[in-house]
Amino acid sequence: MSFLLKWKEYSLDLSKKTYIMGILNVTPDSFFDGGRYFDKQKAIEHGIRMVEQGADIIDVGGESTRPYSKRISVQEEMERVIPVIERLAKEVDVPISIDTYKSEVAKEAISAGASIINDISALRFDPDMAKVAAEAKVPVVLMHMKGRPENMQDNPQYKDLMGEIISFLRQAKQYAIDNGIKEELIILDPGIGFGKRVEHNLEIIRSLKRLSELNSPILIGPSNKSFIAAIVGEKERDTGTMATVACAIMNGAHIVRVHNVEKAVKTAKMVDAIKRGEDAFMY
């Protein structure tokens, strides 16, 4: 299934290759790289470096959504991300995504130069987010999550994991369309690690092809999450991540969200060559 994301000055042909979204956490407490890029200059430099390594999108986030993390104010989140987005928008030629569920943050980020909204709540937590996204006419990532970050890992249970995720994402997509967001700008994310046990995350990756019935591009973000450490060990999260990236691409992912862009670019290129044939060599 092929998709073309086209908006403003950007055009991402998802039928040509797998796109790499580089994670840029401007936070002191994210689960993997918390504090590493909290300094704004370091964050900007890292964003530029990820583009040089081959990132197709940079995803900037100012609030940790790791399990049991605490919420921060709109003002604090904007103070973290807006200066970084403003600078990056002048330095890189790839789209910048704002990772937020707050409409005020999203609106200011778009004004600063962001051009994708990545909302872990699938427009549920802030009633104004759908309007902001529709008016901005930018792609929106809608993610499945059971609960909220502060309680999502409190014994998550499913009777039909993939069925429930598909139903949730179908409703989220329809809600977005009903609120003025164009269908061709909607991206869906099954929410690896968000209200999921180890076995749930593995099943999502194994059964990812089922999401094709929703007729939207699929983004997946397994990078360095705890289910990987549970299987291969804490020190091998990076290796495990690349294995999940490879399997996700083979099973239908169009965009992968990662910390290690350099390795993910090479992993995706190899898997694309296997999956798509010689045409993949051109990208």
Cite the active site residues. 225, 257
Distance CA 72, CA 76 (A): 7
Q: How many CB atoms sit inside 10 A of residue 25's CB?
A: 29
Q: Looking at the chain, which runs of residues are DSSP E strands? A: 4-7, 10-13, 19-25, 57-61, 96-99, 116-119, 140-143, 186-189, 219-220, 255-258
Is 232 in contact with 222 (CB distance < 8 Å)?
no
- Please give the distance of CA 145 from its chain centroid, rounded to a whole number: 13
Q: How many CB atoms sit inside 10 A of residue 214's CB?
A: 16
Distance CA 11, CA 7 (A): 6
